[in-house]
Structure 1
Amino acid sequence: MIKLNRRQALIMGGAAAATALAAPAIAQGTKIKVGALRFTSHSGSFVAKDRGYFADAGLDVELEFFQAAQPMAVAIASGDIDYAVTAISGGLISLAQKGAIKVIGGALIEEEGIDGQQILASDAAFQAGVTDPSKLGGKSYGVTQTGSSFHYVGSRIAQAEGIEMSFKPLQKVGAVVGAIKSGQIDAWNIVPHIAKPLAGSGAVHIIGAVQDYLPGYQTTTVFTSAKNAADQRDKTEAFLAGFSKGVADYNSTMIDQSGGDAGIDEMVKLIHQYVYADRPFEKAKPSIVNGTMRINEGAKLNMASVKDQLEWFQSGGYVDASVTIDDLVDTSYVEIVG
């Protein structure tokens, strides 16, 4: 009987969970560029690259990092990168309408029972009485760009609470962090690996959770150029196969904790190469662990959430009213739910 060490068992388990997306035969070493943010939520790509799952699928992957969603969408449309994982934005939808981009799967999702994106208030706003989202009426809410995913989430919170807020575009996540810490904006929403350390420092306060307003929110999606989706099916399926094995490892280790503390440590060390790499491991580890959220197995896509996002962008005039869900999504690659 062959005995496996913990790492081998985790890898084999992750591979088994992703067999529904077995890699097609493509030329070995096919070079592609994959867009990402330095967020824990992009760990599917990090794991697939470092554990050889992309290579097993025949792909030689170079990761290219961005600071916001919309520039990544532009890079896909221009052919500067081949595949990416990020939130749906107005820019992405408009490029899809022009036939440049297709969403082909889902990634990060809000799941009940797992800490997801947190709603934050600046210390100044909190001390002035903004202790829950219902008290955000008349306050300023940070976003990267007008028509970004942050704008969508903030607007849905305001709608649910029956209040109005002003939205302040600051272009980059780092700029929003600085603005809420200094009190230049009153509120924001962000993934837990950023939200919890900020709250722990006392500079901001967690006043709510996004999943209370948007259960099942398809926070990020997997997308590519319309050309890749239509004409490079083998390459696209190979990317999804490798990515899905990385996701399976990540979920198994960080959410199901199948490898125990040792497995978590090994996974965090892998992610630390890309997230908070400028910090010592022991300081980075709590933030990375705090960022644990479910990434959809097999890149399945919550279509109900995607449709709600599209409708919001249309209702606000951020994208053309004539855009259809078929313009945005190629449903032929992964399981569609919702």
Structure 2
Amino acid sequence: MTNLAINRRQAIVGLGTAGALTLLGRPAFAASKVKLGVMRLASHAPSYIACERGYYKDEGLDVELEFFEAAQPMAMAIASGDADYAVTAMSGGLVNLAGKGAIKVIGGAVSEEKGVAGAIILASEKAYQAGLTTAKDLNGKSFGITTAGSSFHYMCHKIAEANGIPMSEISLRRLHKVDAIVGALGTGQIDAWAIQGSIANEMLAEGSAKQIGLVSDYAPDYQVTTVLTSTNNAANEREKTEAFITAHSRAIDDYNAAVVDKTATPEEVDEVAKIIHKYVDSDHPFPAAKKIFVGSAMRINTGCALTLESAMNQLVWLKEEKMVSETIRAQMLFDISYVETI
């Protein structure tokens, strides 16, 4: 076993042995105004469901949704106090803010899982016709990301690593916003991208991109997004934070049953899809939007559980790429006292 593997295991063990606290039976927290950072993506559905079905209110939380277009601004909003909680991907900027004592990852959200629709690797129509028909063909091609150290950057790394392609042979195009990457791929300004199915399937249906692989083929246990809060909230607002996790977890159960596991009734599937449609692709007819939501749903971890090994792997990668300080330790980034780790 390498020193890196040993250090990773020691760091995980060192996060704490008490385990997750049981939330059942906890009295609701007194009414509190909370700002929650989200993106207009189907994978953020539990936030919408919990708002629309009153789950946050049941826990004494008055939640206001704050919309963002990338992970880094969300992390900065948590650090500055402009948002209380957020659901977003780990990024270099997020980890550096944790190293400064500003934020904590307290749970997990979307994760890749074999057999469940996940992020799809896309090629532009132009690049596909020129020979980019599988992920093995990315050598010498351009790949869209929001920022260095983003989830898109990490997915590209995992794809390249699995196919023996040096990252130096892929041109990373930093476009900052998801909408900008959609436009660049659709017009052939970039060759490839990887994005969750709700966006990918829409582009595929329009004929503006071609599917060349699945991220789950290269990162089957990837913790794509996490639940984030300020260090102050994690340490000093425990009852409020537990209330948020409890409410959000109820909505996760609704989402997974309706569109991932498909154990819900058809009526419940419709109700959940209508809630998502209110916030995502609302300019599309509901039947078409529902088909995309149900056909491209990604697993969201029950109880906001955190796939800690994957999260640790991302921290190690960010250090290896010199995008975060070597001095940042797992204890600075994660507070695993709120949820189970898997």
Contact 2:29-2:239 within 8 A present in 1 as well? no
Aligned 8 A contact 1:24 1:57 in 2: no
Residue of structure 1 aligned with 2:220, choices 192, 215, 224: 215
Number of aligned positions between the proteins: 319
Counterpart for residue 238 of structure 1: 243
Q: How does 1:66-215 map to 2 (within 5 A)?
A: 66-163=68-165, 164-215=169-220
Cα displacement (A) at 1:91: 0.5
Q: How far off is 1:278 after superposition? A: 2.4
Q: Which residue of 2 aligns with 1:12?
A: none
Residue 336 of structure 2 corresponds to residue 336 of structure 1: no
Provide, for residues 137-194 of structure 1, a one-character-per-residue CA deviation record: whole Å limited to 9, x for no partner.
Answer: 0100000011111011101211221212110000100000000000000000000000
Percent of paired sites with the same residue: 51
How far does residue 200 in structure 1 lie from its aligned partner after superposition? Answer: 1.8
Q: Which runs of 5+ in 1 are unaligned?
A: 1-18
5+ unaligned residues in a row in structure 2: which ranges? 1-20
Cα distance in 2 between the residues matched to 1:222 and 1:101: 11
TM-score (norm 2): 0.91
Match of 2:229 among 224, 239, 252: 224
Using the TM superposition, give the Cα deviation of residue 210 of structure 1 relative to its aligned residue in structure 2, in angstroms.
0.3
Measured in 1, the distance between the counterparts of 2:62 and 2:138 equals 47
User: Which has the higher mean CA deviation after the structures are superposed, 92-101 or 315-324?
Assistant: 315-324
Instruction: Write the distance in 1 (CA, Å) between the matches of 2:108 and 2:247.
Output: 14
Partner secondary structure for residue 105 of structure 1: strand
Is the alpha carbon distance of 1:23 and 1:204 closer, same or farther for their aligned partners in structure 2, counting shifts above 3 Å?
Answer: farther
| Aligned match of 2:16 | none
Structure 1 residue 336, shift from structure 2 partner: 1.0
Does the 8 Å CA contact 1:104/1:329 hold for their aligned counterparts?
yes
Structure 1 stretches of 4+ moved >4 Å:
none
Instruction: State which of 300, 304, 320 in structure 1 corresponds to 2:325.
Output: 320
SS at match of 1:137: coil
Structure 1: how far apart are the matches of 2:296 and 2:57? 27
Distance 2:24 2:184 in 1: 45
State how far apart, in whole Å, the 2-side matches of 1:277 and 1:51 are: 19
Whether the 8 Å CA contact 1:23–1:57 is kept in 2: the answer is no
Output the aligned Cα RMSD. Answer: 1.4
TM-score of the aligned structures, taking structure 1 as reference length: 0.92
Q: Distance in 2 between matches of 1:313 and 1:223?
A: 18
Question: 8 Å contact 1:140–1:166 — kept in the other structure?
Answer: yes
